[in-house]
Structure 1
Amino acid sequence: MPDQPDMNPGDEVKPGTPQSGEHVCPDCNGFGEVAGAPCRACGGTGRITALVGDA
């Protein structure tokens, strides 16, 4: 089984989880930075992984 990417604090589920998708990080609005530092919620990516289905 391939390794799954690690979760960021803002992720609801691990990337690649069925019925999940990427969303813009609500803490940094997709910029990846807050006050000039990498966003803690998304790890600086500007994206979080969230459930989008009826899991």
Structure 2
Amino acid sequence: MYMLVQAGGLTGFRRPSFGIIARSILLPVDLLLRTYMVMHLAISVLLHVMVPQLA
């Protein structure tokens, strides 16, 4: 992604709209990844707590 931005800057493709588009694509992906990580952690903790009680 960084290389793409660098290439864009070299070719004079430094329009603000490109940054806005890139941010609007990256932000939901970032939020999804964070949500997935949090959910994964929560499920792991819940399993560690619940499994010994069930056994």
Query: TM-score, normalising length from structure 1?
Result: 0.24
Please state which structure has a larger fraction of its residues in helix: 2
Q: Which has the higher contact order (CA 8 A, sep 6+)?
A: 1
Please state which structure has a larger fraction of its residues in strand: 1
